[in-house]
Amino acid sequence: MSHQVLARKWRPQNFTDIVGQAHVVTAMVNALKTSRLHHAYLFSGTRGVGKTTIARVFAKALSCETGVTPEPCGTCEHCLAITEGRFVDLIEVDAASRTRVEDTRELLENIQYAPTRGRFKIYLIDEVHMLSGHSFNALLKTLEEPPEHVKFLLATTDPQKLPVTVLSRCLQFTLRHISSPQIADQLTKVLAAEQISHEHAALIQLAESASGSMRDALSLLDQAIAYSGGEITEHRVSQMLGTVPSEQVDLLVAALCSFDSAQTINLIENLTSLNVDFGKLLDQLIVIFHAAAIAQAVPEYSEQVNLFAATIDTVKEKISAQDIQLFYQIAITSRRDLHLAHSPKAGFEMAILRMIMFRPGDGDTPKKYSNKPVSEAKHASAQVIAPAEVAQIQPRDMEPVASQLAPPENTPEQISTALQRLDVDQWPALIERLQLVGLVKELAVHCSFVEHQQNKLVLALAAQHESLMSAQSVTKLSSELQSLFGDKLVVDIKISQDRVASPAQAIEDTAQHDIATAERSIERDEFVQMLKRDCQAELVPGSVQSKSMQSKQEGKE
């Protein structure tokens, strides 16, 4: 008899043999026990996790001659026919090769006919997401209300591509990645049955390389058996996979933990002779740093099986949490950019040197980080870092006015003396001194200083801004001025039909001058003149703005 690959030879034939999918198996077994059978099931998950296998075992459970049972006998004619792929009432369809709507219609033409031998006519459609949109439309009605003797078993690696109308008509089961410990245990059982000697560390490597897929793990095991010539060792599996043996990784990580540049470079040179894949070596370091960071943060958590358990212990004991985070980030960034280096070895060397050189702490030994409580840390930092003394700056223009400010109880004569130094030029500085906001500030900046009469301050407001002079704003402005000059101060705002030289008007005049200058400069530009001449372009009116006006508008917003 010809050799049969392990992935087919060890395909589960009943629910108890299925590894790593207990949540799906439990639901299927309970449905069979209680006879609560749906007409359509959808199994989704990555490659090699058991989607088609569970569907076939379920078909066997529905078709077994002993009756509908969660434990098919596996020996009756129906069970054997399903195992060998020749059961006439189990119609397996590869949707990837039958995507056309004509294929789907042809498939459904015979659906109304009763099963030939079994209780049900079972349609197992693999990679169902590959069907075309028209094929899904042709399938919808039958999928919603199939004949009582029909069951649909759908499998897909990409359920997002299925229409929601299909998803809503199925019971959905998502198969998980199978953990490395579960895969390693299954490989151990397989090798024991096949009577092949092995090292457990080699099986862990194969399990981790399978990335959660049992089929991939069995395929790798087939390859390892052929490569090793009868005895599967860690060294030979490392050579086959292009990974570095665990003892070499231990030495490299130990040198890295000691921040020994010379030793790490020498070890990398030695690894070159082993023809290692430096991308996979970076992957191994990423796994180690991740596991060490988790072990430091959550000491009670630990991987059930990990090839680098001793190395992880070394990292978490010798490297600070900050350094581990830095190492991890450098490793994943270097892995992403490894193809950009002139050689993988050079890219790996630079990654290791970055880990050693770009450390949060200085010196050749890991920096010891404080474990003080937060309250103590705050107290300590407050003692070390003292706030700088802030210099008290008095605006020069305000000095004459500020020096003559009178307390609120001053007499009109004293207020008049204080107002004598106030003029048109100092009015803007006085507004800034008052720190006004909102409509009160708008009123102040649109007013202009006119004169002072004894204890009266006379201001002018242009007629177009008269709406700013509400009673509330005038009262607030008077109150602020009285806080500087005394409570006997009287503020008199007069409406002027003439132009008022207010701070706001000065800003607008400056802005208009800047805009006119900028427009003249733009008009003189040779490129602009060419655009106007050849393309009939025109400068959009109002499109040029000064920075002062923009700042004013932003302040209003």
Q: Phi/psi class of residue 151: alpha, beta or left (left: φ > 0; alpha: ψ in -120 to 50)?
A: beta
Angle, helix 344-357 to helix 321-337, in steps of 10 degrees: 160
Q: What six digits make up the tokens of 429?
A: 């500085």
Q: Which of 374, 381, 376, 334 is nearest to 353 (CA)?
A: 334
Q: How far is CA 507 from the centre of its chain?
A: 48
Residues of the chain with CATH 3.30.300.150: 403-501
Q: Which amino acid, residue 382?
A: A
**Residue ranges matching CATH 1.20.272.10 in the chain:** 246-357
Query: What's the CATH fold of domain 246-357?
Result: Zinc Finger, Delta Prime; domain 3 (1.20.272)
Angular region, 393: left φ>0, alpha ψ -120 to 50, beta rest: beta
Q: Which residues of the chain are in CATH 1.10.8.60 domains?
A: 180-241
Q: How many C-beta atoms lie closer than 10 Å to residue 145's C-beta? A: 9
- Written as tens digits, the pLDDT of the chain (557 aa) is 567 889 899 999 999 999 999 999 999 999 999 989 999 999 999 999 999 999 999 999 999 999 899 999 888 999 999 998 899 999 898 888 877 888 888 888 888 888 888 899 999 999 989 888 888 888 888 888 888 899 999 999 999 999 898 899 899 999 999 988 899 999 999 999 988 999 888 898 899 888 889 999 999 999 999 888 778 888 888 888 878 777 888 889 989 888 888 898 999 988 887 778 888 889 889 989 998 888 888 877 655 546 677 888 888 888 888 889 999 999 999 999 999 999 999 999 999 999 988 765 544 444 444 444 444 433 433 343 343 443 343 443 444 444 444 444 456 666 666 676 677 778 888 888 887 888 888 999 999 988 888 788 889 998 888 888 888 889 898 888 888 778 778 888 988 888 888 888 888 888 888 888 888 888 888 888 887 877 777 888 877 777 655 555 555 55
Q: Which fold has domain 180-241?
A: Helicase, Ruva Protein; domain 3 (1.10.8)
Q: What is the CATH number of domain 403-501?
A: 3.30.300.150
Domain 6-174, classified CATH 3.40.50.620, yes or no: no
Give CA 431 to chain center in angstroms: 50
Residue 107, number of CB atoms within 10 A of its CB = 18
Residue 371 CA: distances (Å) to CA of 5, 233, 301, 374, 390? 56, 44, 21, 9, 34
